[in-house]
Structure 1
Amino acid sequence: MTAALSWRLLVIAGAGYLVLHLVAALSTVVVPTALAVLLSALLAPVVGWLVRHRVARGLATAIAILGGLAVLTLLLTFVIGALVSGAGELAGQLADAVGSVETWLVEGPLPLGDDVVSDLSDRLSRWLSEHQARLASWAVTVAGGVGAVLTGAVLTLFVLVFFLRDGERIWRFVLLAVPARYRPRTDDAGRQAFRQLGRYIRATAAVSLIDAVGIGLGLLVLGVPLALPLSMLVFVGGFVPLIGAFLSGAVAVLVALASNGLLTAVLVLGVVLAVQQLEGNVLQPLLMGRMVRLHPLAVALAIAVGVIQAGVIGALLAVPLLTTLRTMVVVLARSAAEPPGPVASGGGTTEGEAP
């Protein structure tokens, strides 16, 4: 029994290893396709609504994509404009915050002497100077990757058009690879997973917006400078669970410490914690539901694997992929005891259908 279980685990681990390497080797195709799946899950309800109102599927696809691009362009213009306009002042505030923390470590209640803090500061300065060349090479790599980003964006848009227009036919073709007796439950699992993926994306955007508004209002009331860029940073960070909210909240607290003092920083920390508690205990259960919620350990491990495999894009895609896999496993487990039925067929992709 133990030997059989060990062999199965080894086979699963080997398959997972090969899949990860295959994904890494084909990342220029896999990442745009994954982004297209996410966007199709977000836009499929719009296309379905237009089709039900007697709009041709091709025209409905064009309307959904053009409308989505317009909204995305406006949002990115607003977010990036706010971040860029306050980037210089934000960097200065953070530098002042680091100095304030250093002073507090020396003069505050902690038993740290000036020599200890100076040693830590010198080590940080040496690390930055030693890694300056590496940071410069990273910047050159990012600048040189603009062409790859544009290529990926074009491929994502191309795949998205066909997912929205011919999603039902593509999904039926994929189901042909599944044995006939398991095809109905696989079809049901795929459609429910696709629906939950769209729900996750919409809920994440709504939660990030509410977090940004709540923390931004708190910063305005407390008189903290750069409230708009900081709230935009909170909004962007909300799309990376756990890590994004923590980092953006820490930046807001540091800026409040440098500009308004310790009391305001403590109040900002209270605002950040209150908003995050509201998010975790009210907003996420209400907007995402039981099927979409994941354990924090699973989220952390998924983000870690995503960062290792694909950097920032991997961090963004890790949790949606985990959500999709979890939904499929739950649906397949629930329907395992049910007798197989005919494969469901439909005319077009709606909110509950796979692309």
Structure 2
Amino acid sequence: MRAQVPAPLRWLPLAAKPRETETVPRQPITVLGECVADAFVQPQRSSPGELTLKVHAGGGPANTAVGLARLGTPTRFLGRLSEDTFGRLFRTHLTASGVDLAHSVNAPEPSTLAVAELSPDGHAAYSFHAEGTADWQWHPAELAAVPLSGTACVHTGSLALVREPGGPAVEEFLARAAGNATVSIDPNVRPLLVDPARYRERLARWCELADLLRLSADDLALLLPGVSPEAACDRWHRAGVRLVVVTLGEHGALASLDGTRITVPAVPVEVVDTVGAGDAFTAGLLHHLGERGLLGGRLDSLTAPDVSAACAYAARVAALTCAAKGANPPWARQLTV
């Protein structure tokens, strides 16, 4: 366990000035996890007795990989991609965004399908069709063959980390990566597919492996019901995580670096939907840290002003994603407008 002793509690506003850094080569990031076919209900195009769906490539880890690559981070995605129609959609979407699929697996199982219906405020409710699908079938040999030299960070989470039979193989891969790379985890709790109790059982082990834990307020409510974000951060620091970031939707985000709190307001935006916003925040956070050469180890050189600047950037990335339909994170050029 890489336990950290929390520093004396301090609060920093967003305005904390980041330290000056020299330009460094962009640090490669590996993302491991699922790619899901998100089928959105189109009520305005449906006829009586029929239902029209529009399918997008989705899945939390895949969304994060797309976000990172579009921002300019060299990104490799490790997924078990089916040979079916949806699998072909995933490959086209990922490669068009600049994601490297050289070490993804061509899987014989079918793709996972999620049917999504949007509420008037843009939040999605999902039903999943995921039994026997490709994403969770990782074998230790498939991941043992993946080279880790040159990877500054490994990001994973969501269903591939918690579902059987692949979850233990993914944990073993993270343990191997932790020797040299920063480990980032987003639990992305999906109670319709996995009992939250299962996440709670595994969370202590994930905290031993992770340097960065990013989760939403909804995740927090399922993992630690009734526990405040601040108390949760302290608990996870004691378990071994140096940086915890809890995204709070329209209320921004709370970050905690060894007990030093950083609050980040949300960026005002006209919301189309919130699909993929948390994944886009994670992409922005990791991209900003990597661009400043802060990934590649236990985050030992990370400071609170670094975290403040990275979270502010991530909030802009998430806001632009909320302004577009579906999980459609922005390209780097859009951040300059």
TM bin, normalised by shorter chain, reads under 0.3
Question: Rg bigger for which structure?
Answer: 1
The higher relative CO (CA closer than 8 Å, separation ≥ 6) is in 1
The structure whose residues are more often strand, as a share, is 2
TM-score by length of 1: 0.26
TM-score by length of 2: 0.27
The structure whose residues are more often helix, as a share, is 1
